[in-house]
Amino acid sequence: MITIKFFASLREQVGKGEIQLDIAAPLSVAQVWARACDNAPLPSHILMAINREYTSQDCLVHAGDEVAFFPPVTGG
């Protein structure tokens, strides 16, 4: 099982803050997004992390991992 978290505006877009997903084999971050978001393609501007470390959409997610998706951070 993996935990998937959505932050900021993505939480409203997806309609969920956090979900759990059972996986039998490792999935890429893009595949995790697709499963969590009704097969929607992963937007190119989204930031992603596995276990609180920034990653790319091709990195593999394993059982027990936490995956987070959030919009780009801005600040001044």
What are the tens digits of pLDDT across the range 27-76? 999 999 999 999 988 888 999 999 999 999 999 999 999 999 999 876 65
Residue 76: Cβ-neighbour burial (10 angstroms; 0-12, 13-18, 19+): exposed
pLDDT of residue 5 exceeding 80, the answer is yes
Q: CB within 8 A of 70, min separation 6: which ones?
A: 6, 7, 8, 10, 46, 47, 48, 49
Q: Rounded to whole angstroms, how far apart are CA atoms 68 and 54?
A: 9
The hierarchical CATH code for the domain 2-64 is 3.10.20
What pLDDT score was predicted for residue 73? Answer: 74
Q: What is the pLDDT of residue 42?
A: 87
Pairing of strands 66-70, 47-50: antiparallel
Taking the whole predicted model, whether its pTM rises above 0.75 is answered as yes
Is it the case that residue 24 has pLDDT exceeding 70? yes
